[in-house]
């Protein structure tokens, strides 16, 4: 693999591959694709149970906390293999929330939440964005006021994906209204079945569901506020750091591209094999070059994480690059498949299982979501190259 893996890394990759060969089949891949954000189906639950049986849900945990102590490169190998196989990713509950609780929670909080997460009793949605606070997280308005031993939460979250299937919400709320914008935010856990929580579905273009979630005088115990008051903005950044490995991964684009290539190999149009068409050959070759390039940006993120860096510029590069590349894959792919490429996943015989037109609809979100690519490029300039802010 890339830049020659170490023997330990190679063994790990082979172990992951073996696991995938054993546990990922077409039924799982189809279920994953067709379910979208509608929660785990039986196949995904089986897969997750198998992962858990190996302790791989704690892949990002240090050994002393019962984890596998995998390096970032090893985690990236894991993500890359899962994405390439089209299996469901590990939920953010395991990869983002749990490692954050591990680091910021009190002993009591860790004892309360981590075992429940591990047993699969708790599943989080991540509630950061609001309609007026998208990329500009620090402007959020949902607030929590202390009332005796309880926090009372009021406000509204947008793009609260999985809120309708999760048991709990990992919520960024304003607890210190008088502090400067960045310093007034805390992270709090809100059970989705708490009185006053209501979920309103939002359907988005690629056929996925997300949610607006309303909090109307929702009371949660005082120690559901995680870590310290007013540090929520930094905790969210920490959680983001755990996500960096997957944000910039080209795995999904590559999987769809590879499937497209396989389709083109067999496709005949107007009596001619499509693979002989010079335009098709050129466009696919160029995309392959870009995919090869993008992949290594993700690897750099992993390597920098292993060095103890916060690879802000590197992960911004990977994110901006991969999201825009996904759009080109979709765009060209649709044109290559022609009329057949319009077919939805549900239509039998849809080439590449309808993935190209789906990616065409999904790809804008990859670029504006998770911090718009404008913000990513600002970060590259500021953090990567030390450009002045004013």
Residue numbers at the binding site for a copy of itself (CB under 8 A): 278-279, 281-282
360 binds, among another protein, a copy of itself, none (CB under 5 to 8 A by kind): another protein
Rg (CA), the chain: 22
Element (H, E) at 198: strand 197-204
Residues 141-200 that bind another protein (CB under 8 A): 158-159
- Which is nearer to a copy of itself, 53 or 285 (by Cβ)? 285
298 binds, among another protein, a copy of itself, none (CB under 5 to 8 A by kind): none
Minimum CB separation of residue 279 from a copy of itself in Å reads 6
277 binds another protein (CB under 8 A): yes
329 binds another protein (CB under 8 A): no
235: tokens are 């905790």
φ, ψ of residue 222 to 5 degrees: the values are -55, -40
Binder among 320, 329, 351, 352 for another protein (CB under 8 A): 320
3-state secondary structure of 136: coil
| Active-site residue, 243 included | yes
248 binds another protein (CB under 8 A): no
- Which is nearer to another protein, 234 or 368 (by Cβ)? 368
Looking up tokens 């708790």 gives 122
Distance, in Å, from the CA atom of 182 to the CA atom of 175, rounded to the nearest integer, reads: 11
Distance of alpha carbon 106 from its chain centroid, rounded? 26
176 binds, among another protein, a copy of itself, none (CB under 5 to 8 A by kind): none
Binder among 37, 71, 145, 342 for another protein (CB under 8 A): 342
- Which is nearer to a copy of itself, 278 or 308 (by Cβ)? 278
Binder among 34, 62, 331, 370 for another protein (CB under 8 A): 331
> Which of these, 235, 245, 126, lies nearest to 190 by C-alpha position?
126
Neighbours of 340 (CB within 10 A): 16
Looking up tokens 């979920």 gives 199
- Which is nearer to another protein, 148 or 308 (by Cβ)? 308
How long a stretch of residues is the chain? 390
Size of the site for another protein (CB under 8 A): 92
Q: Are 297 and 322 in contact (CB under 8 A)?
A: yes
Q: Active site residue: 112, 176, 243, 300, which one? A: 243
* Strands 150-157 and 168-174, bridge-based pairing: unpaired
Q: Are 24 and 47 in contact (CB under 8 A)?
A: yes
Binder among 129, 169, 175, 249 for another protein (CB under 8 A): 129
Which residues are known catalytic residues?
A: 243
């Amino acid at each position: 693999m890339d830049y020659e893996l170490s023997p330990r890394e190679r063994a790990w990759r082979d172990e992951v591959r073996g696991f995938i060969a054993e546990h990922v089949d077409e039924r799982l891949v189809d279920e994953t694709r067709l379910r979208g954000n509608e929660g785990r189906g039986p196949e995904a639950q089986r897969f997750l149970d198998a992962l858990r049986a190996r302790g791989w849900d704690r892949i990002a945990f240090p050994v002393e906390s019962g984890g596998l102590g995998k390096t970032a490169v090893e985690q990236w190998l894991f993500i890359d293999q899962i994405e390439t196989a089209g299996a469901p990713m590990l939920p953010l509950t395991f990869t983002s929330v749990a490692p954050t609780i591990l680091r910021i929670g009190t002993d009591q909080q860790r004892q309360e939440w981590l075992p429940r997460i591990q047993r699969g009793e708790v599943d989080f949605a991540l509630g950061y964005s609001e309609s007026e606070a998208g990329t500009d997280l620090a402007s959020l308005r949902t607030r929590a006021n202390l009332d005796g031993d309880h926090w009372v939460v009021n406000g509204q979250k947008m793009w609260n994906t999985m809120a309708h299937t999760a048991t709990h919400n990992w919520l960024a709320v304003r607890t210190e209204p008088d502090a400067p914008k960045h310093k007034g935010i805390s992270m709090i856990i809100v059970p989705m079945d708490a009185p006053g929580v209501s979920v309103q579905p939002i359907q988005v273009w690629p056929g996925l569901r997300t949610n607006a979630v309303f909090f109307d005088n929702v009371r949660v115990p005082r120690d559901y506020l995680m870590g310290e008051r007013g540090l929520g903005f930094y905790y969210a950044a920490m959680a983001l750091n755990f996500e960096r490995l997957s944000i910039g991964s080209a795995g999904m684009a590559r999987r769809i591209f590879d499937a497209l290539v396989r389709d083109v190999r067999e496709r005949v149009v107007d009596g001619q094999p499509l693979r002989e068409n010079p335009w098709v050959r050129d466009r696919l070759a160029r995309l392959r070059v870009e995919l090869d390039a993008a992949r290594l940006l993700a690897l750099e993120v992993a390597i920098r994480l292993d060095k103890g860096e916060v690879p802000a510029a590197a992960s911004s590069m990977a994110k901006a690059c991969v999201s825009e590349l996904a759009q080109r894959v979709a765009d060209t792919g649709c044109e290559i498949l022609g009329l057949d490429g319009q077919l939805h996943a549900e239509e039998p015989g849809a080439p590449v299982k309808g993935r190209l037109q789906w990616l065409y609809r999904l790809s804008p979100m990859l670029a504006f979501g998770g911090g718009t690519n404008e913000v990513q490029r600002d970060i590259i300039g500021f953090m990567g190259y030390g450009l002045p802010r004013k």
